[in-house]
Each structure stands twice: as C-alpha cells, then as structure tokens.
Amino acid sequence: TQLLEQSPQFLSIQEGENLTVYCNSSSVFSSLQWYRQEPGEGPVLLVTVVTGGEVKKLKRLTFQFGDARKDSSLHITAAQPGDTGLYLCAAGGGSNYKLTFGKGTLLTVNP
Amino acid sequence: DAGITQSPRYKITETGRQVTLMCHQTWSHSYMFWYRQDLGHGLRLIYYSAAADITDKGEVPDGYVVSRSKTENFPLTLESATRSQTSVYFCASSDFGLPLNEQFFGPGTRLTVL
C-alpha cells in the first residue's frame, strides 16, 4: 500500500493570495489524482497526472508531477473563497481500480 | 436521479443495532467502493466490488458486510454498530472506460452511533 503524505494539513489565507500544497510518498506512482471536496459533499476529481515532470493547468490551479513520480504539488494563484475545501491526492493504477488517498489539506480562503 | 446516490444522508442509531447504508449508481459502472472518512485518517477503503457478486475487503473491513446482487446497487451493512463506526461514509464508482482509475463519489452518509 502506498502511503501518501499531504502538507500542510490546514491552510487559512486571504482572498487574492497564492498557495501551494504538497503530496509526497516514498513510492513511485504510476499516476496521481487530485480531488476537491466541499463541505457536505463527496470528492470531485480535478486532474490526473501520469508523466514525470508533467504540468497541468486548470484555470488558476497548476498541478505538477515530480520528475521521479514520487511527489506532486498543487498551486493556486489568486485564491478565491470558492476555492475553499479539502484537497485530496490519491494514487492507484492497479487492475482492481483501487485508490489510496492522502489525508488531505483543508484550505480556507477568507474574503 | 442520474449519477450516484446514497441513502440515508443522515442516520442516528444505537450501539448493537444493524444498519444498512444504500448506494445506487445509474452509469452501470463495474467497480464500486465504500469508504469511511474520519478526522485524522482521511478516506479509508472498507470494501470494493469489481462486478455483481464479486466483492473484496479493503483496508478497514471489520464490522462491515457488503453485497452486490445487481450492478447498480452496493449496500453496506453494519451488523452490530459500535461507537467507533461513527463516521461519514462515501460510496464511489469507476469503470473500465474511465481514464486511470477516476472515481465518482456519492454525497455521503453521516452516521452517528450512540
């Protein structure tokens, strides 16, 4: 089982600030996913990264996969209150379609 | 309703009672999963199913039972609820045609065991 460590665990910032959250493991990932979970709802997939060094952008969100495929980061530019939520990374890739999740980063963006 | 639904959304029960949480998906996805989410532990896999009548244990299966007689339904039963099973439970689904294990989650059931 791959252990995924996310940091920071909690992050509270003001609207307009930039932030980066991290997902790390001692294992090599075949792929990694980022999900966002809003209060009272289930997680929703944001992006999947596959190739070492890959960078994907989703509006103000930039996702990077480490060259060695052991770590990933999520950078948010000019955060907005609507970005508030729990950000989870998950890794899998086996034939049984199981995922292992990190514990998440709880982001609060204050207006 | 299209998508993946869970019922009930909220449930309060007492120690020792049997409780069944329902999960229904309309996509005919082959894979279905049950997770529990607790502060400090994140999402942990309880059971999963690759198809009707095929189920397997996840990380924390003790005290839970699942069945899957139909592709679209995946109920989770707590045979004798304990306080440690107080949690938020999420059902998810995935399928062969989806890229790289993408999972779709239901809205969750908040279970309190008194």
pLDDT, tens only, A2-31: 689 999 999 999 999 999 999 999 888 888
Q: For residue range A63-81, what is the model confidence (pLDDT) as tens digits? A: 999 999 899 999 999 999 9
Tokens of A75: 């950078």
Which residues on B lie below 8 Å from A50 (Cβ)?
A: 100
Tell me what pLDDT residue A95 has. Answer: 61
**Residue from the list B45, B102, B105 with its beta carbon closest to the beta carbon of A98:** B45
Tell me the residues of chain B between 33 and 62 that have a Cβ less than 8 Å away from chain A: 33, 35, 40-45, 48, 50, 56, 58-59
Residues in Cβ contact with B55 at an 8 Å cutoff, skipping those fewer than 6 apart: B47, B48, B49, B66, B67, B68
Size of interface A-B (CB pairs under 8 A): 61
Q: Min CA distance, A106 vs chain B (Å)?
A: 11
Question: What's the one-letter identity of residue A12?
Answer: S
Name the residue among B18, B19, B21 with its Cα closest to residue B9: B21
Tell me what pLDDT residue A102 has. Answer: 93
Neighbours of B82 (CB within 10 A): 11
- In degrees, rounded to 5, the angle at the alpha carbon of residue A24 between the alpha carbons of residues A21 and A29 is 120
Which residues on A lie below 8 Å from B44 (Cβ)?
A: 101
Tokens of B33: 């999963």
